Amino acid sequence: MNDRRTDHKKLCLLVMPFDEYGQTRLKAFVGVPQPNGEIHGTGSYRFDNGNEYDGLHITAYIDYNGIGQNDTRGVWGISHHYSDVRIETPEKARDIARVLTAIDRGLTKARETHGYLRDEDYAQYVFRVAAALKIPSVYFYGSKRYGEMHGSRYIKVTASDLQSHVVNLVDAIHNNRRHEYI
């Protein structure tokens, strides 16, 4: 997708909760795991591994309305898009178009093979996008307490692990404990 082949084995998706205008959201972006355990975003320069993913976000909103514990219906508005991207060259525009096309094809194939997702199933959506982009791993940026207990807030997850973390985050937000994550 750029002048040299992207080494997808060295990339991951990182899912993080964050606040935007008083609303808690989930955002996944393509990152590069570092030797010290941190995950940095991909660079935007043509020579950076994964530069075609710079600005790609997979997002969802967390609903503040009280919903039952262990219920993921507090997640809505799941989407993928590019944001905060400056397109100065036709190559960058083509790279973005290729990524979005790959996601569209991958999601269509997954839907035909595995069926439709529930509207609020952010975890499965993230994993379907990762598969479409041939990105091998997904991490979740965990709570402050998790980081204190394990020495890092970056947690490598499966789809069911991610779903559990999302349920815990929804529960924390509904019980006025979002400070544990944000």
What pLDDT is stored for residue 5 in this prediction? Answer: 63
What is the percent of the chain where pLDDT is above 70? 90
**CA–CA separation, 166 and 96 (whole Å):** 28
Handedness of CA 48, 96, 55, 157 (dihedral sign): negative
pTM for the whole structure: 0.87
Q: Looking at the predicted structure, is the pLDDT value of residue 64 above 80?
A: no
Helix/strand/coil for 19: strand
What pLDDT is stored for residue 46 in this prediction? Answer: 59
Backbone angles phi, psi at 69, to 5 degrees: -60, 150
What pLDDT is stored for residue 65 in this prediction? Answer: 57
Q: Looking at the predicted structure, is the pLDDT value of residue 68 above 80?
A: no
**CA–CA separation, 68 and 22 (whole Å):** 22
Top mean-pLDDT range of 117-126, 130-139, 143-152: 130-139
* Chain mean pLDDT for the chain: 85
**CA–CA separation, 115 and 56 (whole Å):** 25
In angstroms, the Cα distances linking 133 to 16, 50, 67, 151, 181 are 19, 11, 33, 30, 27
b (16+ CB within 10 A) / e for 81-108: eeeeeeeeeeebeebbeebeebbeebbe
What pLDDT is stored for residue 13 in this prediction? Answer: 96
Q: Looking at the predicted structure, is the pLDDT value of residue 115 above 80?
A: yes
